Amino acid sequence: MGEPKLVLRARRVLLEDAEGHLRIEPAIIELRGLRIHAVHTDEATLLRAKPTHDFGDRLIAPAFVDAHTHLALSFLRGADAGEAASGRMVEDLFYRMETRLRPEDVRAFTRMGAYESLLSGVGLVYDHYYHAEAVAEALEEVGLSAVVAPTLQDLSGPGLGQLEAQLDATRSIASSKRLRQRGIFAAVGPHASDTVSAALWQRASELARELEIPLHAHIAQSPQEWSAVVEREGVPPLALLQRLGVLDEAPSSLLAHGLYATRAELESIPRDRVSFAFCPHSQLVFGFPAPVMRWAEMGLSFVVATDCGASNDSLSLQKELRFVAGARSTGISATTEYGTYFEGGAFADPSPVAEARRRAMASVKEQWSTEAVLRRGLSSPGSLHPGFAVGRIEPKALANLIVLDVDHPSLWPGRDLIRALVYSDIAPALHAMFVAGRLIGTPGHFHESVLMSEAYQGSKQEADARLYELLGR
């Protein structure tokens, strides 16, 4: 027997034209297994097709991609922001709690994060965490597709006792046909340059090359990391990876944060195989947003992510896009021009501030168009995972799709639906969702059908009980 086939029809489908620009037009989408088999836009096929799902005037678009997250860490949502300001929240709070986690805790907490992701329109996550086989099991149970990077540590951190098991998990997830059929893949996950030795970095990059999967790591995310690596190795974090040849060895690399990386370091990386993960709201809580304007001017590849519920309080990737869309203007109030105006008295001239704003808004303008911003939340370029395509409605791509009710108040009057995918709140308008070719919930009752399901109710009950027990350990 062949793979099961679903046929979707809608009068609004987000596609690409021959020049690569986004457009919305009527289409038939055939799904076979976990991938899109074919897309038809010709009138004859539209008329004679017998769809299994006819969505009428609703919009079918690719589901969002969260390019760096730790779903299980939602169990620490609401942690004291004062600890974040101290710069020691990861070491003093996260690590302290994570050392207590058992695989069954991680599985229960990951399920809750996976449900939150689905309910916000995210179809695929790049998850980096401990007890990774439990993470993969949770994702499979919920139905969220993912690239799972088992966290590797050998110098410090909660993963010290898990190293060999996590390396084995990397191989196991990468080789699992069952997981691939559910849209779950593997990456190699060295944690960060202060918790991973030079020998383990090299071992990780060799494993990535052997398995032909990405390397997914944190890099240059804090002053503490920078200082520890300079003291130990004599060079800063990103320079260490360059010296070890890690970024040249791995087929592709996804590096999260990159706050403490200089222009000289960034100019030396192999740009065709390295992407940075920009986590706007998490970085606003922990310190400051990554210098994405400078990255864009240098031609670096970057995608958008949430990081985790513990540092962000939200796993809505789309909410991150709104910050990205306004990133060009975030530094205006910190300019010399604005400082002079602010201190200049009641009749200070604001025109220099307006000129500074004009320059900022004109900078790398094409990379801040609505379409360009949307792609950072939908697409997974080759430098993330060379093994599959996602974020586009085209043959062979993962069949991760959202269906939006364009008559919902959050999208009304629907004049520019491409812009709405960046700026509007699309979650309430979710009508249906497909992940790895499987229908999630009930069309027309998407949120209610998920939240009222026995699977969700059971997951919530278990997560509550395990969190209560964990806090008492």
Looking at the fold, whether 120 and 253 belong to one and the same domain comes out as yes
Looking at the fold, whether 301 and 352 belong to one and the same domain comes out as no
Is the pLDDT at 379 greater than 80? The verdict is no
Angle, in degrees to the nearest 10, between helices 317-325 and 370-378: 150
Query: Average of pLDDT values for 128-143?
Result: 98
Looking at the fold, whether 73 and 102 belong to one and the same domain comes out as yes
Looking at the fold, whether 93 and 169 belong to one and the same domain comes out as yes
Query: Average of pLDDT values for 237-243?
Result: 96
Q: How many CA atoms lie within 13 A of 330 on its CB side?
A: 17
Q: How many CA atoms lie within 13 A of 238 on its CB side?
A: 24
Looking at the fold, whether 15 and 102 belong to one and the same domain comes out as no
What is the pLDDT confidence band of residue 221, given thresholds at 50, 70 and 90?
A: very high
What is the CATH number for 115? Answer: 3.20.20.140
Looking at the fold, whether 72 and 198 belong to one and the same domain comes out as yes
More confident residue, 440 or 1: 440
Looking at the fold, whether 284 and 420 belong to one and the same domain comes out as no
Sorted by sequence, the CB contacts under 8 Å of residue 19 that are 6+ apart come out as none
| Residue 177 maps to a domain | yes
Contact between 402 and 440 under an 8 Å Cβ cutoff? The reply is: no
Looking at the fold, whether 250 and 115 belong to one and the same domain comes out as yes
The residue length of the chain stands at 473
> Which residues is 278 bridged to in the sheet?
304
How many structural domains are present in the chain?
3
Looking at the fold, whether 189 and 320 belong to one and the same domain comes out as yes
| Residue 55 maps to a domain | yes
Pairing of strands 189-190, 184-186: unpaired
Sorted by sequence, the CB contacts under 8 Å of residue 14 that are 6+ apart come out as 22, 23, 24, 59, 60, 61, 62, 393, 417, 418, 421
Domain extent at residue 11:
5-62+391-440
Q: What is the DSSP letter of 185?
A: E
What is the CATH number for 420? Answer: 2.30.40.10
Looking at the fold, whether 92 and 55 belong to one and the same domain comes out as no
Predicted pLDDT at 4: 64
User: Which residue, among 345, 346, 322, 444, has the nearest Cα to 64 in the 3D structure?
Assistant: 322
| Residue 281 maps to a domain | yes
On the 0-12 / 13-18 / 19+ scale of CB atoms within 10 A, 11 is middle
**Cα separations (Å) of 459 from 13, 105, 110, 272, 462?**
34, 11, 10, 41, 5
Predicted pLDDT at 94: 86
| Residue 455 maps to a domain | no
Is the pLDDT at 1 greater than 50? The verdict is no
What is the pLDDT confidence band of residue 380, given thresholds at 50, 70 and 90?
A: low
State the Cα–Cα distance between residues 473 and 461, nearest whole angstrom.
Answer: 19
Looking at the fold, whether 36 and 146 belong to one and the same domain comes out as no
| Residue 98 maps to a domain | yes
For the segment 285-328, what is each residue's pLDDT rounded down to a tens digit?
877 899 999 999 999 999 999 999 988 999 999 999 999 998 88
Judged by average pLDDT, the poorest of 20-29, 203-212, 327-336 is 327-336
